[in-house]
Each structure stands twice: as structure tokens, then as C-alpha cells.
Amino acid sequence: MEPIAVTRVQTLIDSFARKDVYLHLETTNGAYASHFDQSFFSAGAYIRNAHINYKHGKIIGDGPYRVGLELNIGWVYGEGLTHFELNEDGQLILAGLNHEDKIAVTLEISEQPFRK
């Protein structure tokens, strides 16, 4: 993965638009967060292989970045994104690393289902 280059990522987002694609979206603090700090409210969300088709998508911000995808019947968005990669399987991987360089958010789009 490399730091997000906005124009490149926008082109990649556009390349998946109006296609049936698979979505992976997660936010996470790590399961140990509240063990180390009891005042920490650990929240996260995870969806793997949601099957969506978005009309258009945008990347916004000056880093960390936000990505929103508009569906015919709804929305997908993620924020805190810092890095990207188009991997060898043609999957667009966007991830956000926090100040400790740990993954805090991931948004991925693929034409083939992600591995379970």
C-alpha cells in the first residue's frame, strides 16, 4: 500500500461504478483496546462481501480522506483513509492507519467476492 494519491484513487473508484461489485468495510479499535484502557469505549463495524452497485463515488479531503459511494437505494462511506493499493487481483484496497500505524478502517471494492 502507498499513501493515497487522490486523482489515482478517484479514477479507480470510477472504474468500479455502475458494476455489481463486492464491498468490504470495517472499522476497528482492536479487541484489546478496553483491556488496556477501561475508559475506552470499543466500537467497530465489519461487513464482508456486501454485493452493491454504486452510481458514483468520490474521494474527498486533504488526508486522511473520506470516500462515499452513492447507491440507487442508499449510501456507503468510510473516513480516516490514508493508504491505497490496487492489488494483483484487481481489488481496490483503501485503508486508514491511525497515529500508531495500526489499521483503523478499511474499505475495499472488488468485482470478485473476497475470500471468506
Partner 1 sequence: MVKKERHVLVIFPHPDDEAFGVSGTISAHIASGTPVTYACLTLGEMGRNVGNPPIATRESLPDVRKKELEEAADAMGLTDLRMMGYRDKTLEFLAPGVLKSMVEELVAELNPTLVISFYPEHSVHPDHNATAEAVVEALADMPKETRPTFYAVAITLDNPDVVYSVKDYMREKLLALRAHHSQFGATFAEREKHYRGGDPEIVERLENERFFNYKFADDA
Contact residues toward partner 1 (CB under 8 A) are 1-2, 24, 26, 28, 30-32, 35, 46, 83, 85, 87, 89, 91, 93, 95, 97, 101-104, 106, 108, 114-116
Q: How far apart are the first and last CA of the chain?
A: 21
- For residue 13, give the C-alpha cell: 473508484
Is-contact 20 53, C-beta < 8 A?
yes
Strands 21-27 and 45-52, sheet pairing: antiparallel
CB of residue 69 vs partner 1: minimum separation in angstroms? 18
CB of residue 55 vs partner 1: minimum separation in angstroms? 25
Of 8 and 18, CB closest to partner 1: 8
CB of residue 90 vs partner 1: minimum separation in angstroms? 11
Of 70 and 85, CB closest to partner 1: 85
Of 67 and 95, CB closest to partner 1: 95
DSSP β-bridge partners for residue 100: none
Strands 74-81 and 45-52, sheet pairing: unpaired
- For residue 41, give the C-alpha cell: 469505549
CB of residue 66 vs partner 1: minimum separation in angstroms? 19
